[in-house]
Structure 1
Amino acid sequence: MSSQIALPLVTARGSETVIMGPSLVPAINALQSADSWPFRTAILAGPPRSGKSLLARWFAESGAGDVVDGADSLPEDEVFHRWNRAQAEGRPLLLVCDRAPGQWKIALPDLASRLGAALLIEIGPPDDELIAGLIMEHSMRRGLVIGDAVLAYLLPRVERSHAGIELLIETLDRLSLERKSPVTISLVRDAIAERTGAFQPRLL
């Protein structure tokens, strides 16, 4: 397995890391090229718990531009005002949202056309390297020890979503505490069964 890369982020909240994998590289490259964005505007979209807000804070803290988090839940006139201000100041603007603009119900035609012209940066499902990194990161935060055999068992079976991985490790932590047991393949099997409601065969 290739090594994990941690992207450091130091903010007022302290030091944080963005766990990297090949699926995130295009997004990182795009965030580092803000001066080339159309109208210096980009939209960072991705599923819950995919690290959008953390990447946005890294972008803002680096001084590369301004950020509007949760843009798809704000009043349209506020988003339009932020876009106009960014154009007037000649400063890159990153809009962070759960949905791509095509999935918004935008009533203002001018805003719709401007968002349609922005660069869309989408975070997709995590790749195997990123999944492994997320499993280890969430486990470390909870004080769980994940051995190589357990990790190898988990990788092809875990839900391939950022939120799903986090919830599985939360379930593993709870079962480990309840049973006063280390993280074993048997415990992982029970955690997956609890999360999915599916029977996990005890072969392999």
Structure 2
Amino acid sequence: MSQIALPLSRKGSGDPGRIVIGNANSEVIEALRNPSHWPFKTAILSGEPRSGKSLLGRWFESLGEGEVIDSANIWDETELFHRWNRAQEDGRPLLLISDADGWEVELPDLGSRLGSALNLQIATPDDEMLAFLIESIAIQHGLALGEGAITYLVPRAERSFAEIERLVLMINRLSLERKAPATLGIWRDALEAIRGPEQGRLL
């Protein structure tokens, strides 16, 4: 398990953004490293909220390999069609990031062309990646998780990027509010707060 450090800083933070590499995104990252293989110089990146799509887009852009359009699903479709044509003319890869679950394109010419693009999907994180995500988010927020936190939290946590972030932030919040270290009682209460009592008390 490893990370990619971004050369750009997140808004409101002096720390560089980091992308955790794991089962959910390793194939996506490999494809972004080799855009010369993309059909028609175009790829569409999608995935659940907070899965790192925009971070990956920023990283790809920092490599100087091509153009990135974030939230492409809400862009004017005629403009996207022009950008696609420009990618063909210039030979410069185009990465479109979609926030939609099942992006439906209304403009027929654009739809037919994007139908031939490389589809990159960020998958569900496995236990190993989940553990590294918890540790990474905790470090980012200066949260010291007590011993045994990963062993306790991973089996009880939802396999979701957004929920993992929410869980760690809840642990941090409770620890700060109670002025107490983030140990078992706080892990359990954080799980109960976001998923219900049965999750926090799961044996």
Same fold (TM over 0.5): yes
Q: Which aligned pairs between 1:108-187 and structure 2 lie closer than 5 A? A: 108-187=107-186
Report the Cα offset of residue 185 of structure 1.
1.6
CA distance in 1, matches of 2:19, 2:72: 21
Report the Cα offset of residue 108 of structure 1.
0.9
Q: Which contiguous aligned blocks of 4+ residues in structure 1 show a shift greater than 4 angstroms?
A: 200-204
Kindly indicate whether residue 8 of structure 2 is the aligned counterpart of residue 11 of structure 1: yes
- Greater shift, 142-151 or 193-202, is seen at 193-202
Question: Could you say what the CA RMSD is over the residues aligned between the two structures, in angstroms?
Answer: 1.7
Report the Cα offset of residue 105 of structure 1.
2.8
Residues 138-171 of structure 1 show CA distances to partners (whole Å, capped at 9, x for unaligned) of 1112221123411100011111111101111111
Percent identity of equivalent pairs: 49
Tell me the equivalent position of 2:193. Answer: 194
Unaligned runs of 5+ in 2: none
CA distance in 2, matches of 1:162, 1:173: 17
How many residues were matched structurally? Answer: 199
- Greater shift, 33-42 or 13-22, is seen at 13-22
CA distance in 1, matches of 2:27, 2:194: 31
Unaligned runs of 5+ in 1: none
CA distance in 1, matches of 2:200, 2:19: 34
Q: Which aligned pairs between 1:15-54 and structure 2 lie closer than 5 A? A: 15-54=16-55
Report the Cα offset of residue 198 of structure 1.
3.1
Give the aligned residue type for 2:6.
Answer: L
TM-score of the two chains, using structure 1 as the length reference: 0.91
Report the Cα offset of residue 200 of structure 1.
4.2
Report the Cα offset of residue 124 of structure 1.
1.2
Give the aligned residue type for 1:110.
Answer: D
Which secondary structure state, in structure 1, belongs to the residue aligned with residue 60 of structure 2? helix
Tell me the equivalent position of 1:64. Answer: 65
Which secondary structure state, in structure 1, belongs to the residue aligned with residue 56 of structure 2? helix
Identify if the C-alpha distance between structure 1 residues 168 and 203 changes in structure 2 by more than 3 Å, giving closer, same or farther.
closer
Which secondary structure state, in structure 2, belongs to the residue aligned with residue 22 of structure 1? coil
Residues 29-69 of structure 1 show CA distances to partners (whole Å, capped at 9, x for unaligned) of 11111001000100011111101111111111101111011
